[in-house]
Amino acid sequence: MVLSLENNGFKAIFYGTIRAENIIQVGDKLFNSKDHTQSGYEFVYINDLVPEDHLLRKIDKYIDFSFIREKVRPYYCMDNGRPSVDPMVLFKMIFLGYLYGIRSERQLELEVKTNIAYRWFLGLKLTDPVPDHSTISYNRHKRFQETEIFQEIFDEIVFQAIKLKMVAGRVLFTDSTHIKANANKKKFNRKIVRKTTKRYLETLDAAIEEDRRQHGKKSLKVRKQSPEENETKEIKESTTDPESGYMFRTGKPEGFFYLDHRTVDFKYNIITDVHITPGNVHDSLPYLERLDAQIEKFKFNVEAVAVDSGYLTTHICKELQDRKIFAVIGHRRFHPTKGLFSKFKFLYDKVKDEYSCPNKQILKYRTTNRDGYREYISESKICAECPLLSQCTRSKNHQKVITRHVWEDSKEWVHKNTLSKSGKMLYKKRKETIERSFADAKQLHGYRYCRFRGKKYALEQALMTATCQNMKKIANHLAKIA
Give pLDDT, residue 22. 57
If you average pLDDT over residues 370-389, what whole number do you get? Answer: 90
List of residues 6+ apart from 413 with CB closer than 8 A: 317, 321, 327
Give pLDDT, residue 251. 79
Give pLDDT, residue 147. 87
For the chain, percent of residues with pLDDT exceeding 90: 56
Give pLDDT, residue 28. 63
By CB atoms closer than 10 A (0-12, 13-18, 19+), residue 397 is exposed
Q: Is 130 in contact with 109 (CB distance < 8 Å)? A: yes
CA distance 151 to 78: 24
**Mean pLDDT, the chain, integer:** 87
Give pLDDT, residue 248. 85
**pLDDT tens digits, one per residue of 182-226:** 999 889 888 888 776 677 888 888 999 999 999 998 888 776 655
What confidence tier does 474 reach under pLDDT thresholds 50, 70, 90? very high
Give pLDDT, residue 313. 92
CA distance 462 to 289: 18
Give pLDDT, residue 84. 73
**pLDDT tens digits, one per residue of 317-365:** 999 999 999 999 998 777 778 888 888 889 999 999 999 999 899 999 9
If you average pLDDT over residues 393-410, what whole number do you get? Answer: 91
Across 96-110, 165-179, 382-396, 450-464, least confident range: 382-396
Give pLDDT, residue 17. 47
Give pLDDT, residue 29. 61
User: At residue 61, does pLDDT exceed 80?
Assistant: yes
Give pLDDT, residue 268. 95
CA distance 23 to 19: 7
Give pLDDT, residue 339. 82
What confidence tier does 169 reach under pLDDT thresholds 50, 70, 90? very high
CA distance 38 to 3: 20
Of 225 and 456, which is predicted with more confidence?
456
Q: Is 384 in contact with 399 (CB distance < 8 Å)? A: no
CA distance 66 to 166: 20
For the chain, percent of residues with pLDDT exceeding 70: 89
Give pLDDT, residue 33. 55
**pLDDT tens digits, one per residue of 96-150:** 999 999 988 999 999 999 999 999 999 998 888 998 888 888 888 888 888 899 9
Give pLDDT, residue 13. 41
Give pLDDT, residue 253. 86
If you average pLDDT over residues 225-250, what whole number do you get? Answer: 80
Q: Please, what sign has the CA dihedral across residues 58, 62, 66, 68?
A: negative
Give pLDDT, residue 40. 65
What confidence tier does 86 reach under pLDDT thresholds 50, 70, 90? confident
Tell me the pTM. 0.86
User: At residue 180, does pLDDT exceed 70?
Assistant: yes
H/E stretch holding 409 reads helix 408-419
CA distance 436 to 209: 44
Across 168-177, 247-256, 287-296, 419-428, least confident range: 247-256
CA distance 54 to 73: 31
